[in-house]
C-alpha cells in the first residue's frame, strides 16, 4: 500500500502505511489475529502469532457485552500478556536481533499494538501496519480492479486434456511469467476438478494469491495464463482479470488427438483410478446437464474400470461441447491465436511444445 516509513523509531511503534513493494523487505510479517481470521485470509508470507485465539477472542467479546469494558480489557490484557510471553519463548526465541518485522491485526489497533510494543522494547525493529488487514484488503480489491489491464497476457487455450496445465508448469520452470489460476484456486476448473488432498481457499485468500502473483510480475513481459472460466471451482476470478484475459489477442490454441488427451487425463486424475468411489460421488453433479441415463452409463464404466472409454465419452459429450461454446462466447479474438499441436503424451513432447509457446510469445 502506498506510504512511507516514519523514523526515528519510538518505544511504541508508530503505525505506518506500507507500499506493496516494501512487503518483501521484512524478515517476518506477523498476523496477530486469531487462527480463524488468519485461515480466511492473510498477507502474503505472514505467520500467525495470535495474541488471542478464537475461543479467547469470543470470550472477551462476551465480556464486553455483559461485564463491561473495564473488566473485558483487564481479562483480555492478562490473556494477551500470557500469549505474547509464549511467543517470545517459542517462535520468536530464535528471531535475530536485526530482524525487521511488520505486525498487523484487523484494524492495526490493540492486538498488533500490544505485540509490537513488547517486541520493540526487546529491541527488534517493528512496524505496525496502518489500518491493519482491513486496509490491506481494500488495497487488494482496488489493485485487482486496475492491474490486469496493464499486463500482456498470452492465453493458452485448447480443449480439456490437451496439457494446458502441464505446459504452464514447463513454461514457469524456464523462468517465464505464469499466472496459474488453477494452482492458486487448488482446483482443476471442472465439475470433476476438486483435488483429493487440498481444500480450496476462501474467495479472499484466492484474491490475495492472485494479487501477490501479479505484484511479483512485470507487466511489460508476457504472462502466460490458461483460458479459464469465470469460476475455478468455487473461486471467482476477479472481474477485471477475466476481462483482460479474454480481451487478449495473444495466445495459442493447443490441439491433441483423443488418445493423447485420454492418456494425459488418466495420468492427471490418477486419484479417481485409485479410488473410483470419489468419481462416482461426483458424477451425479452432471445429471442436470445430461440426464440420469447418460450419467448411469458413465457410472457403470467407472465401476467396471473402463477408464479410456469413460474419459473419451466424457470429453465427447460434456467437456468438448462446453469448451467450444465457452470459447466462442467469451474469446472474441480467438482467430488471432496461433494453432499448435501436442503430438504425444510424452514429457519430451510437452517440453518441446512449451519451448514453441515461449518462442511464439517472445515474437508477438
Q: Say how many C-beta atoms besides its own lie within 10 A of residue 12's C-beta.
A: 14
For this structure, is 162 an active site residue? Answer: no
Please compute, for residue 167, the number of CA atoms within 13 A of its CA located in the half-sphere on the CB side. 29
* Residue among 220, 254, 227, 264 at smallest CA distance from 356: 254
Return the DSSP state at 237: P
In whole angstroms, give the CA distance from residue 187 to residue 24: 28
337 is written with which cell numbers? Answer: 491465436
Three-state DSSP string of 184-210: HHCECCCCCCECCCCCCCCHHHHHHHH
**Active site residue: 101, 105, 235, 262, which one?**
105
CB 261 within 8 A of CB 269: no
How far apart are the C-alpha atoms of 261 and 315, rounded to whole Å? 9
Q: How many CA atoms lie within 13 A of 33 on its CB side?
A: 21
Q: Which of 38, 33, 35 is nearest to 208 (CA)?
A: 38
Q: Which helix (H) or strand (E) holds 232?
A: strand 231-232
Q: Cα 28 from chain centroid?
A: 21
Q: What is the DSSP string of 295-346?
A: HHHHHHHHHTT-HHHHHHHHIIIIIHHHHHHHHHHH-TTGGGSEEEE---SS
As a whole number of angstroms, the distance between CA 319 and CA 297 comes to 16
Rounded-to-10 torsion of CA 127, 203, 150, 26: 20
Catalytic residue annotation? 105
Amino acid at each position: 500500500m502506498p506510504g512511507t516509513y516514519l523514523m526515528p523509531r519510538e518505544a511504541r511503534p508508530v503505525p505506518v502505511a506500507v507500499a506493496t513493494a516494501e512487503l518483501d523487505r521484512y524478515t517476518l510479517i506477523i498476523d496477530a489475529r486469531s487462527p480463524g481470521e488468519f485461515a480466511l485470509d492473510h498477507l502474503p508470507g505472514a505467520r500467525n502469532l495470535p495474541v488471542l485465539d478464537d475461543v479467547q477472542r469470543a470470550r472477551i467479546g462476551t465480556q464486553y457485552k455483559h461485564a463491561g469494558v473495564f473488566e473485558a480489557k483487564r481479562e483480555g490484557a492478562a490473556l494477551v500478556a500470557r500469549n505474547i510471553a509464549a511467543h517470545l519463548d517459542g517462535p520468536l526465541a530464535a528471531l535475530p536481533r536485526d530482524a525487521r518485522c511488520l505486525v498487523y491485526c484487523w484494524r492495526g489497533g490493540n492486538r498488533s499494538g500490544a505485540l509490537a510494543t513488547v517486541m520493540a522494547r526487546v529491541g527488534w525493529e517493528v512496524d505496525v501496519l496502518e489500518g491493519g488487514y482491513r486496509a490491506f484488503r481494500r488495497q487488494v480489491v482496488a489493485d485487482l480492479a486496475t492491474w490486469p489491464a496493464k499486463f500482456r497476457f498470452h492465453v493458452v487455450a485448447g480443449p480439456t486434456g490437451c496439457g494446458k496445465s502441464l505446459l504452464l508448469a514447463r513454461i514457469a520452470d524456464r523462468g517465464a511469467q505464469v499466472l496459474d489460476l488453477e494452482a492458486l484456486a487448488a482446483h482443476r476448473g471442472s465439475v470433476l476438478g476438486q483435488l483429493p488432498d487440498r481444500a480450496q481457499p476462501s474467495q479472499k485468500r484466492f484474491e490475495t494469491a492472485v494479487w501477490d502473483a501479479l505484484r511479483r510480475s512485470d507487466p511489460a513481459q508476457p504472462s502466460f495464463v490458461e483460458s479459464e472460466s469465470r469460476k475455478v471451482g468455487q473461486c471467482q476470478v476477479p472481474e477485471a482479470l477475466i476481462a483482460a484475459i479474454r480481451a487478449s489477442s495473444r495466445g495459442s490454441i493447443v490441439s491433441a488427438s483423443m488418445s493423447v488427451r485420454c492418456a494425459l487425463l488418466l495420468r492427471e486424475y490418477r486419484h479417481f483410478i485409485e479410488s473410483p468411489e470419489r468419481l462416482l460421488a461426483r458424477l451425479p453433479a452432471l445429471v442436470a446437464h445430461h440426464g440420469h441415463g447418460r450419467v448411469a452409463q458413465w457410472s457403470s464404466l467407472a465401476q467396471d474400470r473402463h477408464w479410456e472409454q469413460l474419459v473419451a465419452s466424457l470429453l465427447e459429450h460434456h467437456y468438448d461441447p462446453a469448451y467450444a461454446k465457452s470459447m466462442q462466447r467469451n474469446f472474441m479474438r480467438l482467430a488471432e491465436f496461433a494453432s499448435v499441436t501436442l503430438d504425444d503424451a510424452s514429457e519430451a513432447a510437452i517440453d518441446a511444445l512449451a519451448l514453441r509457446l515461449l518462442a511464439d510469445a517472445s515474437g508477438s
